[in-house]
Structure 1
Amino acid sequence: MTLDFTPDLAEIERRVEALLFAAAGPLSVAEIARRLPEGADVGGALAALRTRYLGRGVELVEVAERWRFQTAEDLGFLMTEEREEPRRLSKAALETLAIIAYHQPVTRAEIESVRGVSISKGTLDLLLEMGFVRLRGRRRTPGRPVTYATADRFLEHFGLARLDDLPGVAEMKAAGLLDLSLPAGFETPDPSRALGGDDEDPIEDGDAPEFAQDFVGG
């Protein structure tokens, strides 16, 4: 002899709750009912759940004759994420960054010599602001020009453990990081140059780079 078992309202409420949490979108009463025993009081379960969740962080609401759980309206601001759009580097900025990486420590004049053109205003500003480049020192030559080197952010961004992990020139060109027209003699990195150097003095606190005052446009 088989006994029919009809879940009570509390059990139906649990099942409706589970269905709504697992659903990819809102469910209608008919869609819920198809997953429950015949004769289940879906309307009663929905009403009970709506009352139980009223005033909670998550509430049961009816939208277009379908039911779903959603964040309480007054807490919507918690779900708003401010995203900062990644800043894309121009071709000139990428070339400048590559030259600094491969020739560091290097002055602005030396960068321009390798590129064959003047650095457009703002290129070094952007690289410094993004943390890819740092002020390294002042060359012991007339005018005491500032020298530039890569910062830790450069290694982190490009997934490099150290400077000697930089790819070869051919790989840089293939990746579009170097212009194919760069002059011959472009060097591969020598990390020891970035670590030492007897021809410059360290940047002192408050020492400002000269490009902020006398940047050459181009």
Structure 2
Amino acid sequence: MAKDRSEPELDRELSDLPPELRWREWMRRIEAVLFASASPVSREDLTRVVGQGASIDLLVEDLVADLEGRAFEIAQVASGWMFRTRPAYAPAIRAAADVGDQLLDLSEFDVAVLAAIAYHQPITREGLKDIFGKEISRDLIGRLHARDLIGTGPRSPQRGAPYTFVTTEHFLVAFGLESLRDLPDREQLEDAGVVGEVPKVDFG
């Protein structure tokens, strides 16, 4: 696609500005990009709006400090960074605008199954049945699929080569995780009440 000649080229280096103002402008550019995006912005994308000598990590670190005390924050999730409301303000948002997150549409058992998939992936429906002691319906799996919280993994080497299920990048974003290594341990899940209603679940 031909470049739009009517749009001026972005000055990334900002060599005409003193160092302090240059750094501040790079911070604001990163802030603008994150604010405009509904999904995590990768390091590669952020480097396109700042100079070659700029450190994305240090710029984000300074921006995080700059936002201290605000109702929103920058979170490193999945493959990049994004803005999110601080957890303390979630009740206020729901009360004022009836804005719920997608997990509110899931039952406690749905969330427990999602947690089992997260900890045991890739896992088949038969594997989930072994964990919960009962058949996991296709409708439940479909609900998790529809919210892009799980996807289809590799086929299992078991007889019939059934499909397995894995969590998605959107799962990481929804739970504010940088990677699956950040998943809480079983005790934390029980304290949060995520698996309390399903005593047969074993995340150990």
The TM tier, using the shorter chain, reads 0.3 to 0.5
More helix by share: 2
TM-score (norm 2): 0.47
Computing the radius of gyration over CA atoms, which structure comes out larger, 1 or 2?
1
TM-score (norm 1): 0.44
